[in-house]
Amino acid sequence: MQDVVDYLNENYFDFISLDALAREKYFMNPRYFGKLFKDYTGCTFSQYLTQIRMEHARDYLAKENYTVSQVAYMCGYNSVSYFIQTFKKVYGETPKQFEKTDFCDI
């Protein structure tokens, strides 16, 4: 499973589905693959991928001069509104609100 975690960390910006990854890369049943993944990481596949994407999004917003739309696409989101919704759910504020915090001035 460490190989899967490494793969997600290196390819978070691509469209990645548990089903496709399980079947095409690891030749496993997706349900079993998902169970193994959760046992290894402590969270579901989608929770883990979201966590990675949000950490990268936060870094991009804090350290780079990208628009919210650019960050959304760079982090693997095809919908900017879904990205904003997910960011707010994870961090309690929108990406724009996050950009305005003192944290980004560091």
Q: What is the pTM of this model?
A: 0.88
Return the pLDDT at 64.
80
SS (H, E, C) the chain: CHHHHHHHHHHCCCCCCHHHHHHHHCCCCHHHHHHHHHHHHCCCHHHHHHHHHHHHHHHHHHHCCCCHHHHHHHCCCCCHHHHHHHHHHHHCCCHHHHHCCHHHHC
* Overall average pLDDT of the 12-30 stretch: 96
Return the pLDDT at 23.
96
Structural domain of 89: 2-105
**pLDDT range class, residue 106, cuts 50, 70, 90:** very low
Each residue of 36-72: pLDDT tens digit? 999 999 999 999 999 999 999 999 999 888 999 999 9
Number of domains observed in the structure of the chain: 1
CATH of the domain at 43: 1.10.10.60
